Amino acid sequence: MKRNYYLLFLVAAFFCSGCNSYSKQNERKKDEIMEIKTPQFNSDTAFTYLENQVLFGARVPLSKAHESCATYLNETMQRFADTVILQEGMVELYDGRVIVAKNIISSYQLQSKNRILLCAHWDSRPFSDNDAENLFTPVLGANDGASGVGVLMEIARCLSENNIKIGVDIIFFDVEDYGMPDFYKGKSKENTWCLGSQYWSKNPHVIGYNAKYGILLDMVGAQGATFPKEEVSLYFAPHIVQKVWSTAKKIGYDSYFVDWKGSAITDDHLYVNQLANIPCIDIIHYDTNENSFFPAWHTTKDDMSNISKETLKAVGQTLLELIYNEK
């Protein structure tokens, strides 16, 4: 009898220890599934996505390059996102001409109410305003335009390979950079920049669209870029500025995401805040010491020679770190 009890005890102990380690293993597996690791942003592919846009030439609305680039962006994003919508809207330029703006909108996890919005403009400026001899030469826009889009395309690729729990929308805004030039002698007009984002903010692609917050990228590719905390962003979305800058610091990119206050900039995020009511910040290269955007801004020199993979990595990895930790 005694021996029987002993045996029973041994058998029970064996099973229990088995159960125990089995359930521990299971928990560990569950943790691995639950805790999604932040993917690595590949700055080589981001660079290629950026270069591919520039190879079309200046993406000035109504040009052949603009048309071809729209097709390229649309087709590439179809490979990465759950859905891609080409939103076409009539907008009026500073000189009264009406053109069609093409916003390219890519979405992940459409059913999720918990969403964030990432955006950049994909058009380039028809004038080199800051280049007296080349006033009417369009800007190539390697940094001013293509850099933000290139970073977001690489993020889109990462999202396609690494599931995320929240909903994400990536919008490439059109006709950001057709604002009234200083040399224009006609009747002055307000709000002539950011026409694609103004259109979208008044006519979102989904009725009642909402996002927790938005992040705009503008001129995020130049070597040694500095991104001050821009004033419109601080006014509408101080908590998002704080969150992005501390994320950058956490992973070692605080030399890019500097702790300076920058002056207010009229950019796509202004209209997303004002018209769509979504708190949206702008990550934009501004040199507070020089009191200007990057040196080649709106000149014929805004080409591939300005672009640094390190800067693309700093911005892209910071965004991935942020969104993969979003609940």
Interface with ligand AHN (CB under 6 A) = 144, 177, 193, 218, 265-267
For residue 180, the minimal CB distance to ligand AHN (Å) is: 10
Taking the least distance from each CB to Zn ion, the nearer of 230 and 321 is 230
Q: How far apart are CA 123 and CA 262, in angstroms?
A: 24
Matching residue, tokens 């821009």? 230
Taking the least distance from each CB to ligand AHN, the nearer of 174 and 218 is 218
Dihedral Cα 66, 225, 46, 65, nearest 10 deg? 10
* Chosen from ligand AHN, Zn ion, none, partner binding at 193 (C-beta under 5 to 8 Å by type): ligand AHN
Taking the least distance from each CB to Zn ion, the nearer of 154 and 267 is 267
Taking the least distance from each CB to Zn ion, the nearer of 59 and 125 is 125
Stretch in the footprint of Zn ion (CB under 5 A) among 10-18, 89-97, 177-185, 301-309: 177-185
* Chosen from Zn ion, ligand AHN, none, partner binding at 174 (C-beta under 5 to 8 Å by type): none
- Can residue 144 be called a binding residue for Zn ion (CB under 5 A)? yes
Residue type, 104: I
Taking the least distance from each CB to ligand AHN, the nearer of 65 and 232 is 232
* Chosen from ligand AHN, Zn ion, none, partner binding at 218 (C-beta under 5 to 8 Å by type): ligand AHN
* Chosen from Zn ion, ligand AHN, none, partner binding at 68 (C-beta under 5 to 8 Å by type): none
Sign of CA dihedral 46, 52, 57, 58: negative
- Can residue 177 be called a binding residue for Zn ion (CB under 5 A)? yes
* Planar angle of CA 46, 52, 56, nearest 5 degrees: 150
**Environment class of 137 (CB within 10 Å of its CB; exposed 0-12, middle 13-18, buried 19+):** middle
Taking the least distance from each CB to Zn ion, the nearer of 162 and 266 is 266
CB atoms within 10 A of CB 166: 17
* Chosen from Zn ion, ligand AHN, none, partner binding at 265 (C-beta under 5 to 8 Å by type): ligand AHN
Residue of closest CB approach to ligand AHN? 266
How far is residue 244 CA from its own chain's centroid? 12
* Phi, psi (deg, nearest 5) at residue 222: -80, 150
How far is residue 306 CA from its own chain's centroid? 19
**Environment class of 77 (CB within 10 Å of its CB; exposed 0-12, middle 13-18, buried 19+):** buried
For residue 325, the minimal CB distance to ligand AHN (Å) is: 29
Chain residues that interact with Zn ion, rule: CB under 5 A: 125, 144, 177
